[in-house]
Every structure is written in C-alpha cells, then in structure tokens.
Amino acid sequence: MASIRSLKKDIDYLMSLVLEECLYVMENLPEAEQEKAMEIARKIVAGHYELRMRVNHPDGKDNPAIVKTYMKKVVDDLYAKANSALEELSALTGK
C-alpha cells in the first residue's frame, strides 16, 4: 500500500480533476442547467472533505491489517465518488 501522504495527494488530484470538469461543463450549459451542475460540484467538494477526514482518522491505528483494509475502502470510495460525479455530468450534458 502507498503511504497516507500519497493517498491524500491522490484524493486531491482526482477530485480536483472531476471538479474542473464540472466547472467546464457549467461554463457551457444554459442557465437552467447550471444549478444542477452546481449541485454536482457541491457533492464533489463534500466528498473530497469526507475522504480526507477519513484518511486523517483511520480505524484501528494499532493494527496494520485493519488500517490496510480501511484505506482500501477509502480508495474504493474515492473511485466510486469520482465515477458517480462524472456519470451525473455526462447525463446532464447528454453525451
């Protein structure tokens, strides 16, 4: 497993890419659809905050096996949140 520092950087990088995509979509949408895109952006920011807090405060700090499975779950949730946001954006744009 990679270090916690590396995982935090990965969370920052991936969520910022998804947020950037969301902002790009917002620029090109009509006014009526921009509120939906803004709601997706709020979900992305909230998901980023939640994932960083989970990495900072893992369960079972004394047991490496528990920490390892906990961090794997965080990574899985990271990919799920990013994928979900991108799917919502693609549904919003119709592409």
Cβ-contact 89, 40 below 8 angstroms:
yes
pTM of the full predicted structure?
0.88
First to last CA, the chain: 36
| 48-95 per-position pLDDT tens digit | 999 999 999 888 888 888 999 999 999 999 999 999 999 999 998 886
Residues in the chain: 95
Per-residue confidence (pLDDT) for residue 48, from 0 to 100 = 96
| 20-41 per-position pLDDT tens digit | 999 998 888 777 788 888 999 9
Per-residue confidence (pLDDT) for residue 13, from 0 to 100 = 97
Res. 45: pLDDT tops 70: yes
Torsion angles phi and psi, residue 29, rounded to 5: -95, 155
Per-residue confidence (pLDDT) for residue 3, from 0 to 100 = 87
Per-residue confidence (pLDDT) for residue 41, from 0 to 100 = 94
CA–CA separation, 19 and 85 (whole Å): 9
Please state the domain extents for the chain: 4-93
CA–CA separation, 74 and 38 (whole Å): 25
Q: Look up residue 95 and give its DSSP letter.
A: -
